[in-house]
Structure 1
Amino acid sequence: MTTTVAVTGLGLITPAGIGREQNWERVCDGTGLAAADPELEGALVEFSCRVPEFDAADAVGAREVWRTDRFVQLALVAAQEAIADAGLDPGSWDGGRVGVVVGSAAGGISTLEAQQKRFLEQGGKGVSALLHPMSLVNMVSGRLAIEYGATGPNLVTATACASGATAIGVARDLLASGACDVVLAGGTEAAVTPTFVSGFARMGALYSGTLPPDQASRPFDTRRDGFVIGEGAGMLVLERLEDARRRNARVWARLLGYGATSDAHHATSPHPGGLGIEDAMRRACRDAGVSPEHIGHVNAHGTSTPLNDAAEAGAIDRLGSPDLAVTSTKGVTGHTLGAAGAIEAAYTVLSLAHQVIPPTANLTRTDPEVRLDVVCGAPRKVELAHALSNSAGFGGHNVSLLFGA
């Protein structure tokens, strides 16, 4: 595939802040943001990474809060910033040429939990008529299409924690095929609920040690013990490069390659050899026509779980790039599940734009089995031409996106 895609807009709302600039500042600061979460009282883990100081009614309007789940509200905020950043006017664009692709793993899980409680307390008549419009996972892309008059392809991708990255890859294919001229693509998740969190805890996937919450997410560290759950949304505006240049748009970076694979190994554990994520990275490189040896940076999936970090580290090491620097921004934001791939793709784009790699928070002693140059302590100034953003998800899904400066 020869089509080059430009990233012309970025929108972020994450535990690192509301908006692109605040996100970049806090991710580069490299301080973990997990904290005690009163809404998780009674859950097996009672801390998380939430979006700070988010007033949904102020951000999207009281009526929107009444009729949408938080995962949609976060996506609306990120999309608004991305479209404004791209300099596009939805009031004047050809909506039939605009697509929307959004990834989410859980959809409106908080709505489902709340309505289940009402059913148990009040019976069927206590259940809201808005249960399904608020909770179905496809409602996020549908709501964005309504908001912006986007009548082109409208899709949701659900590949667990790779969902946001899958959405960006699918969006790239829509542009390459000629089906769209503009695609709003990304991921969103708001699944920090007692039941959902307790499920992860019962699996042994969450951090369960004795360190303070803000030190619990520690990718590639010898003391990593599990991930910290987070929430957020990341949205990108994607266009063909020639179209972006024709309208004199700022190009943050180019999306050059997309690789997707399946481990076909286990429901929740990655292939121990990291073969699936390695194949996804190599496919992205082949797709872009870039030798793996020329990759200068990988924003790793890096969940802070013992199995994932070890498997991914081995896969990255086998790329054989002599000057490759790695980071995992989950040390700061926690794991935002289906939104992570899009949020981290945006951070990778910003690394290329600023020629800076953020540090991996809480990395004090790198696991001896991780034979990588993992950035820690402070941001690193670099000369970057190409970077990969990796994502993986339960079910064995692997996605790698290759961006160029």
Structure 2
Amino acid sequence: MNKSKRINGSKSSCIAVLDVGSTKVACFIAQIIDNKEAHVIGIGHQVSSGVKNGNIVDMDAVEASVRATVESAELMAGENVSNVSVSLAGIEPKSELISFDVSVAGNQINDSDLKRALDPAWIYSQQSLDREVVHTLPVSYSIDGKKGIKDPRGMHGDKLGVNMHVITTPSSSVRNLETCINRCHLEISELVITPYASSLACLVKDEMELGSLCIDMGGGSTTISVFFDNQMIYADSIPIGGLHVTNDIAKGLSAPLSHSERMKSLYGSAISSPSDDMEQIKIPLVGEDENEITQVPRSLLIGIIKPRLEEIFELVKKKIIDSGFEKVLGRRAVLTGGASQLTGITNLAATILDKQVRLGRPSNIEGLAESANGPGFSVCAGLIQHHLNERQSILSTASNKVGLTESKIARFGQWLRDYV
């Protein structure tokens, strides 16, 4: 039972999710089918404005971007939304694993014991005023010191131990985002950090079970998450992303930013080839007449892109080593996010990280158009998956309660038959 920060929830079978990034704002509206599947019926996205490195720097610009994006999704879906599940991107998440015990006095552990153990109220009270708890995720349980228990309900013991993954973010960043969303006449139903959402969308079941690293390369930042035994055990971010690559190109070639982004997409690569020196790229110069065109070899463009990507992956590697989870990961890594689509980027990442690397894109979400089914939309798809996981967790808890009640009635009925 994962606990995420909830502000206001909606019982509607139609949900909306929102990803406010440094380069784009995206909104998906999905229809929930039998609490197990989601079918996207509305999509809206446009260029982001007012966000830098994942942090809001212009409230009015962000408000305008969010309004336009949500309205586009509503128009396509034919639905009006009042609640949205929102991602938190590039806002310095702090990841911490804590362990504690709860007394159950030798009784059978039930839902109320589990709820008491997972109650994050005391965790909230221990946080400083400048940090806010976003996720409290139980990683594993133990009973009387016996570890490795996934679901302790129905078992007996004196002490229930919990290993909890607590993720906090700067309070000011959360408040700024909430204010922008509220100014659009929307309420936030759920806040989910970007690395958690993108990993839920891209990692397959075996990768979550055996251990894997998910790297979401956004425009203003790169976020990382570590999964093991089906749980996220570490999350972090690096304040460097695809926009930094674009700025490097603009500065290095004296080209306009818009054209630098286009060159990166069309001709950019993370690895060089022998033919790069022979291939010429036409570029306009900043401040010059449109007819003033110069030519540079493709090798020069790649020579600007590659060092920045190497820096990102070296920083990711250092973060993982410093976290102490390097050995838990095994040899699997998944790249996703808009900046992960450069040619050869998986090969470069594999060389630096010394892992098997693949490109991840949204899975298990129906109704996505081809243009919205790429790595750049992994966060929105992950927000939907997170909502489905939460629903199934609630239904599972309710089912267990019904099962326990029916079991008690059956035992009482058997006693009546035997002795009355």
Tell me if TM exceeds 0.5: no
Query: Which has a greater percent of strand?
Result: 2
More RCO (CA 8 Å, sep 6+): 1
TM-score, length of structure 1 as denominator length: 0.30
Bigger Rg, which one: 2
